[in-house]
Structure 1
Amino acid sequence: MLDHEQILIRRGPRSGLPIVLAVHSTALGPAAGGLRLWHYPGWRDGLTDALRLSSAMTLKFAAAGLPSGGGKTVVALPPGTELDPPSRRDVLRDVAEVINALDGTYAVGPDVGTSPADMAVIGETTPHVFCKPPHLGGSGDSSPHTAQGTLAALHAVSHHLYGDRDLDGRRMTLIGLGHVGEHLARLLTAENADLTVTDIDPAKRPLAEELGATWHSSATILSKETDILIPAALGGLLTAQTTHDLRCRAIAGPANNQLDTPEVAGLLHRRGILWIPDYVVSAGGVINAITTELHHLDATQSSTRVNAIETIVTDLLTTAATQDTTPAQAGHDLAQRRLGTT
């Protein structure tokens, strides 16, 4: 059953590319979510991604206690397509016009394949944009705040597992060294975690050497014994099959859509592995951007909201243990209560 409020599919008049904009909910306030500019086998695959990501954004905002709803924009690039600067600008102008037509129902920020510089281009057409560069009045790159929120979640998980939030000596395995992953790797190194990292791009290996982290092959990373596994790349990592390979006590990372299907959360639970909902762990970046740019909190107030992810995760773990359920179910129930649907 489709539970989205609006789904717009447009062919960009300049770019000729399919633009999908999904507004999942405005029950708590205007929707917000990133622009994903990525390669898909077909535009329908982009639509599927937009539907899943926008519903996850609703849960993310609700769990964080923010007065915003979930949305997402996806531009489906055909495989092998590379955009030169003029073509990229055409795509962004097409997206901006679709967003502007919604007249404030939805605001856009960066996501996979886009950046604050892209938001600046979109901002030339519509005011309903966040994470523009700081010199244009925006909050800029959200990656450091996403990493900080993930660190807060990891403190909560460590305390739940070991009775101590300290990460010193904890075995952490980080999958993905993109913008968020690199920031997080540096934070974990500063906390003296026993860090193992991987990335599908071997050019990331010097970062591991710089940080004194162990580099591991991405092909066998899931079977490495570790305390906490931290997915920080693209989604779909955790499937019914890969679940059997895991040698960890908990999974908490900023990658979106980590579960291949919702049933995987139950499989992890039966194996005694804690999975912290990705929409909670990854919320730091959007919390900072939304509270700073759309809700006009100052930097200290926004940072407090980001670090409050530790409390949110602690509460979810406590609820799950008390009710003998999964953190996934506890997170879903919390979000639904705040949305007024339960």
Structure 2
Amino acid sequence: MGNFDERRQDIKTRALLRSYGRFIDTLGGRYISAGDVGTGADDLDVIGERTAHVVGRSAAAGGSGNSGPMTALGVYQSLRAAATSTWGTPDLTNRVIGVEGVGKVGSELIALLVRAGANVIATDVDVEAVRAVAARFPSIVVCDDVLDAELDVYAPCALGATVTVASTDRMTASIVCGAANNQLRTADVGQYLHSKGVLWVPDYVANAGGLIQVAGEKDGVDAQWVRHRVERIYDTVLSILDRSRSDSVPPGEAADRIAGARLRLERNGV
């Protein structure tokens, strides 16, 4: 049965997850479920007892396991590309990086950043998660709010909508790049960041590593292929930032234009 997380039984029970799996199965593959905040490989194993349309399961259940490390690697590669665009080098040595959220992705990102020689400041609303990451990485600084610090990079890796006009005015960071979904509170914040000279790496690009992993799981490719594709996010981000400069638009709009063009080609069978 795996190591199903029995905590929070009031909202996440084995029966509920199995019921969810049965519902997914009625969609006949039109929707494929995966992990997100509050769910992990063990939960997905339980869902997979009732449907084949689920990815991110444990290796024991035939899946690719925790997608946190690959998501973090994609964020790291995105950050290196943003650093290259901003400072002329991907080297993060002594750069001050504020990581907001130290869960299964944020903690793995911190591991990569510490290894790269960055100075990491971290925060999370989960006290136990903060204690665990501080014990794992004694060199990091823990605080209540990373935006109170002088940062080179703000890395939102918790819940979304933390990047607002107000938080942009507070931040000292030159780069915003993290794993959180829907980072911008409203669409116009992307233009505001751009006008302030703050480089934002679009969230759906920066956090694509996990999706690449579970898509690879579905297609039956090996871990080496997945890692290679995730590492190429560096090149993808550079191309988006080049497009942003050439079109004189924020990176988010440049990414949307590139994605739109690809979708049109796919619809036209090109």
Structure (1/2) with the larger strand percentage: 1
Check if 1:302 corresponds to 2:226: yes
**Structure 1 residues 103 and 158, CA, compared in 2 at 3 Å: closer, same or farther?**
same
Q: C-alpha offsets along residues 154-212 of structure 1, whole Å, 9 cap, x if unaligned? A: 11011111111111111211111111111111111011112111112333145335420
Check if 1:130 corresponds to 2:50: no
Match of 1:320 in 2: 244
Identity of aligned residues (%): 35
Secondary structure at 1:109's aligned position in 2?
Answer: coil
In the alignment, the residues of structure 2 paired with residue 237 and residue 306 of structure 1 have an alpha-carbon distance, to the nearest angstrom, of 25
In the alignment, the residues of structure 1 paired with residue 10 and residue 165 of structure 2 have an alpha-carbon distance, to the nearest angstrom, of 39
2:101 is aligned, of 176, 190, 205, to 176
Match of 1:214 in 2: 141
Q: Assess if the C-alpha contact under 8 Å between 2:175 and 2:200 holds in 1.
A: yes
Check if 1:241 corresponds to 2:166: yes
Question: How far 1:256 moved relative to its partner?
Answer: 0.6
2:77 is aligned, of 146, 152, 156, to 152
Q: C-alpha offsets along residues 32-75 of structure 1, whole Å, 9 cap, x if unaligned? A: xxxxxxxxxxxxxxxxxxxxxxxxxxxxxxxxxxxxxxxxxxxx
Question: How far 1:84 moved relative to its partner?
Answer: 5.0
Tell me the matched-pair count.
258
In the alignment, the residues of structure 1 paired with residue 210 and residue 150 of structure 2 have an alpha-carbon distance, to the nearest angstrom, of 29
Match of 1:330 in 2: 254
* Cα RMSD (Å): 1.8
User: What is the one-letter code of the residue matched to 1:196?
Assistant: I
Please say which of residues 164-173 and 130-139 is displaced more in the overlay. Answer: 164-173
Residues 181-220 of structure 1 mapped to structure 2, 5 A cutoff:
181-203=106-128, 204-205=130-131, 207-208=133-134, 210-211=136-137, 212-218=139-145
Check if 1:274 corresponds to 2:199: yes
In the alignment, the residues of structure 1 paired with residue 136 and residue 220 of structure 2 have an alpha-carbon distance, to the nearest angstrom, of 38
Q: Assess if the C-alpha contact under 8 Å between 1:174 and 1:185 holds in 2.
A: yes
**Structure 1 residues 269 and 94, CA, compared in 2 at 3 Å: closer, same or farther?**
same
User: What is the one-letter code of the residue matched to 1:168?
Assistant: T
Q: C-alpha offsets along residues 297-322 of structure 1, whole Å, 9 cap, x if unaligned? A: 22211111111110111111111112
2:91 is aligned, of 166, 169, 172, to 166
Q: Assess if the C-alpha contact under 8 Å between 2:151 and 2:171 holds in 1.
A: no
2:177 is aligned, of 252, 260, 265, to 252
In the alignment, the residues of structure 1 paired with residue 107 and residue 192 of structure 2 have an alpha-carbon distance, to the nearest angstrom, of 30
Q: C-alpha offsets along residues 198-250 of structure 1, whole Å, 9 cap, x if unaligned? A: 112333145335420122222xx224221111001111101222221111101
Secondary structure at 1:340's aligned position in 2?
Answer: helix
Q: Any gaps of 5 or more consecutive residues in structure 1? A: 1-80
In the alignment, the residues of structure 1 paired with residue 165 and residue 219 of structure 2 have an alpha-carbon distance, to the nearest angstrom, of 40
TM, length-normalised to structure 1: 0.72
Q: Assess if the C-alpha contact under 8 Å between 2:73 and 2:209 holds in 1.
A: yes
Q: Assess if the C-alpha contact under 8 Å between 1:227 and 1:250 holds in 2.
A: yes
In the alignment, the residues of structure 1 paired with residue 65 and residue 240 of structure 2 have an alpha-carbon distance, to the nearest angstrom, of 30
Q: Any gaps of 5 or more consecutive residues in structure 2? A: 1-6
Question: How far 1:267 moved relative to its partner?
Answer: 0.9
In the alignment, the residues of structure 1 paired with residue 236 and residue 74 of structure 2 have an alpha-carbon distance, to the nearest angstrom, of 11
Residues 23-172 of structure 1 mapped to structure 2, 5 A cutoff:
82-83=8-9, 88-172=13-97
Match of 1:25 in 2: none
User: What is the one-letter code of the residue matched to 2:133?
Assistant: L
Question: How far 1:132 moved relative to its partner?
Answer: 0.8
Q: Assess if the C-alpha contact under 8 Å between 1:205 and 1:215 holds in 2.
A: no
